[in-house]
Amino acid sequence: MISTVTFTRLDHIPGSSNIMLNPERGFFKWNGQNVAPVKSMDSYARYNWSMLETSCNIYNFNPISSAAAAASNNGGKFSFGVRCLVEGTSNAMPGYLSSNMPLKWWSNIKNCCVPDWNDAYFLKRVDALASNLGANFNNDPRIDYVEIRTYGNWGEWHVSGFETPSNGASNLFDSSTNSMIDSFVKWFPNKQVIMMSDNDHGLAYSMGKNNAIGWRRDSWGHSIMENITSIVAWSSTSNRWTTAPVIVESIGTANGGMNSNVTVAQIQKYNVSRIGNGNFWSTSNWADIPVGLQTCILDSAASAGYIYGVTSIQFPSTWSVTGNNTIQSSWYNIGNAPTYHSWQLKYRLLSGSNIAWTGISSLSLKSLLPGNVSVTDLFTFSGGVTAGSYMLDFIVVDTEKYYQPMNIAITNNKNGNGGYTIATIVVK
């Protein structure tokens, strides 16, 4: 006899802080801030290069390690970027580096020291920085992604508003761009690498390296965000969300600040997975933000990234100890992007709290883009399962055994064993 269990889809209430909590989607803790009153599992920060390399080849990565430990204790991972130009900060580069850079220059407009981006020694030290970061964090399970931020103001790959240098320093060469990107891709082969999107050549070059490199834009909530669609690199970038994350940060107070009319629409249009939970307003106090904008910010996080659920599961009410047992299931993704992490759907037979059997489904969540899919799985027992009555459930687990089981977008059936109850079945 075939039984079918149907499940009620869990849709998000607009403007609700009751957002589906899973890693690597929605809000992440931004530079120490969790402004919107929603728990964030993952966290992120940017560091000035001078903070991490105190003198030539003397590195202090304790800030990154400590932040990674805190993220791990929160059930998430930590991501970071390193920058070497920050307006208002006299010198974000290590002192030894600027001392050995003849064509560095001082911006009176932005009140900071600007590197000579094409200096051979500078590019050599960028590679050394990436190499040492990779040696420490490429295989660290607490680290999620690493951003390439070694060019531009705030590491955003632009120098908007800076004057033209009078000392003969040149604009960024394409070859220098390639060199910086190559360094991070080379030294972080096991991590997600994220490229900033304000340099047309750099974005196109990074997208051509491999399909696992994602992109980021720090002008979310403003029309400036839309400028990306007019650059040449957009043709190779527009569908990258299918294999790698798109990450955004609010434009903050720059250029008039956020526009609530475009916040949710941009998350949907660009298939954004992750949103920095900060830099929304002139203060970090959530109560200071207008209610209408609060609602749009929460709506944006609620829809960002993957949201997986199941509509129905069909299975034999009596299972065969020696024969085949078929489970058919219908799954959906009501988010706007897939997961980029390795998750696995497992079915289990439980006797009380004891797991008598586990079967791995053929469902690929990485391949489940927004939409629906039907999956048929055929299971046989290889021994160890005896005749009797069992509880059948399912669980979605991290194959790397780092994250807790995934929360599924259904309204009921969560059990005390980390999974979702389907039904009682009999094995004969």
Mean pLDDT in order along the chain per 10 residues (428 residues): 92 77 96 93 98 98 98 97 98 97 98 98 98 98 98 97 96 98 98 97 97 97 96 96 98 95 97 98 96 95 96 95 94 97 97 93 98 97 88 97 96 90 96
Q: Give the closest residue to 315 by CA, choosing from 381, 384, 375.
A: 375
Q: How far is CA 377 from CA 229, 316, 347, 350, in A?
A: 41, 12, 10, 19
What are residue 26's DSSP bridge partners?
274
Which helix (H) or strand (E) is 83 found in, with range? strand 78-83
**288 and 318 share a domain?**
no
What are the backbone angles phi and psi of residue 327, rounded to the nearest 5°?
A: -120, 125
For residues 301 and 17, what is the distance between their CA atoms, to the nearest angstrom?
9
What is the per-residue pLDDT for 136? 98
**257 and 354 share a domain?**
no
**60 and 129 share a domain?**
yes
Q: Give the closest residue to 294 by CA, choosing from 265, 258, 269.
A: 258
Q: Which domain holds residue 365?
A: 2-7+307-427
Is 212 a member of any domain? yes
b/e 3-30 (16+ beta carbons within 10 angstroms → b): eeeebeebebeeeeeebbebbbbbbbbb
**Model-level pTM?**
0.95
For residues 393 and 410, what is the distance between their CA atoms, to the nearest angstrom?
14
What are the backbone angles phi and psi of residue 198, rounded to the nearest 5°?
A: -100, 15
**148 and 176 share a domain?**
yes
Which helix (H) or strand (E) is 145 found in, with range? strand 143-148
Q: 165-222 pLDDT, tens per residue?
A: 999 999 999 999 999 999 999 999 999 999 999 999 999 999 999 999 999 999 999 9
Is 20 a member of any domain? no
- Using DSSP, how many helices (H) and how many strands (E) does the chain show? 9, 21
What is the per-residue pLDDT for 382? 81
What is the per-residue pLDDT for 208? 97
For residues 86 and 92, what is the distance between their CA atoms, to the nearest angstrom?
6
Q: Give the closest residue to 148 by CA, choosing from 220, 216, 235, 221.
A: 216
| Domain CATH code at residue 229 | 3.20.20.80
What is the per-residue pLDDT for 332? 96
What is the per-residue pLDDT for 182? 98
For residues 340 and 87, what is the distance between their CA atoms, to the nearest angstrom?
34
Is 203 a member of any domain? yes
Is 13 a member of any domain? no
What is the per-residue pLDDT for 57? 98
Q: How far is CA 266 from CA 19, 74, 221, 262, in A?
A: 19, 29, 7, 6
Strand-pair category, 343-351 with 388-398: antiparallel
- Secondary structure of residue 26 in the 3-state scheme: strand
**221 and 141 share a domain?**
yes
What are residue 275's DSSP bridge partners?
27, 248
Which of 249, 284, 303 is where one domain is finished? 303
**195 and 236 share a domain?**
yes
**143 and 201 share a domain?**
yes
**341 and 201 share a domain?**
no
**260 and 133 share a domain?**
yes
b/e 157-191 (16+ beta carbons within 10 angstroms → b): bbbeebeebeeebeebeeebbbbbbbbbbebbeeb
First to last CA, the chain: 13
3-state helix, strand, coil in the chain (%, to 5): 25, 30, 45
For residues 88 and 91, what is the distance between their CA atoms, to the nearest angstrom?
9
Q: Which two tokens stand for residue 277?
A: 């939970």
Is 15 a member of any domain? no
| Domain CATH code at residue 363 | 2.60.40.770
Is 356 a member of any domain? yes
b/e 333-368 (16+ beta carbons within 10 angstroms → b): bbbbbbbbbebebbbbbbeeeebbbebebebebeeb
Is 227 a member of any domain? yes
CB-CB contact of 306 with 381 (8 Å): no
Question: Domain tally for the chain?
Answer: 2
What is the per-residue pLDDT for 20? 85
**91 and 136 share a domain?**
yes
What is the per-residue pLDDT for 97? 97
Is 14 a member of any domain? no
**185 and 332 share a domain?**
no
Which of 282, 303, 324 is where one domain is finished? 303
Q: Which two tokens stand for residue 373?
A: 């899919």
For residues 420 and 394, what is the distance between their CA atoms, to the nearest angstrom?
5
For residues 373 and 333, what is the distance between their CA atoms, to the nearest angstrom?
9
CB-CB contact of 243 with 215 (8 Å): no
CB-CB contact of 4 with 314 (8 Å): yes
**247 and 318 share a domain?**
no
Which of 268, 303, 338 is where one domain is finished? 303
